[in-house]
């Protein structure tokens, strides 16, 4: 992922525009950097608490991590195989 991103806000909603590298349309299926809507992002107040209380049918992809900007994030797959990003801002 490159560092050219934008997060224009509209009240409590946010659209995140991210430019992934490498560019192009030839990417394997099932990856976060493929064109189109690839995941849903949800803001939570306490990421560690939410992570510890995930139901058994939710598959964590990685443990919570802290980004360089201080945002805590975690990715998981829901029972319908949707990629979900949890964010604690």
What is d(CA 39, CA 77) in angstroms, rounded to the nearest whole number?
9
What is the residue extent of each domain of the chain? Answer: 1-33, 39-89
**CATH code of the region 39-89:** 3.10.180.10
Q: What Å distances lie between residue 80 and 28, 46, 47, 57, 59, CA to CA? A: 20, 24, 21, 9, 11
pLDDT in tens, 12-55: 666 666 655 665 555 445 566 666 667 889 999 999 999 999 99
Helix (H, G, I), strand (E, B), or coil: what is residue 85?
strand
- The closest of 37, 87, 86 to 58, measured between CA atoms, is 86
Q: Is residue 79 predicted with pLDDT exceeding 80?
A: yes
- Its pTM surpasses 0.85: no
| For the chain, percent of residues with pLDDT exceeding 90 | 42
């Amino acid at each position: 992922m490159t560092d050219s991103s934008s997060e224009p806000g509209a009240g409590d909603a946010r659209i995140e525009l991210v430019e992934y590298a490498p560019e192009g349309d030839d990417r394997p299926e099932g990856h976060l950097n493929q064109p189109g809507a690839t995941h849903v992002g949800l803001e939570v107040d306490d990421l560690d608490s939410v992570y510890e209380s995930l139901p058994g049918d939710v598959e964590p992809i990685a443990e919570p991590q802290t980004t360089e900007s201080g945002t805590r994030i975690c990715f998981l797959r829901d029972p319908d195989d949707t990629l979900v990003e949890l964010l604690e801002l």
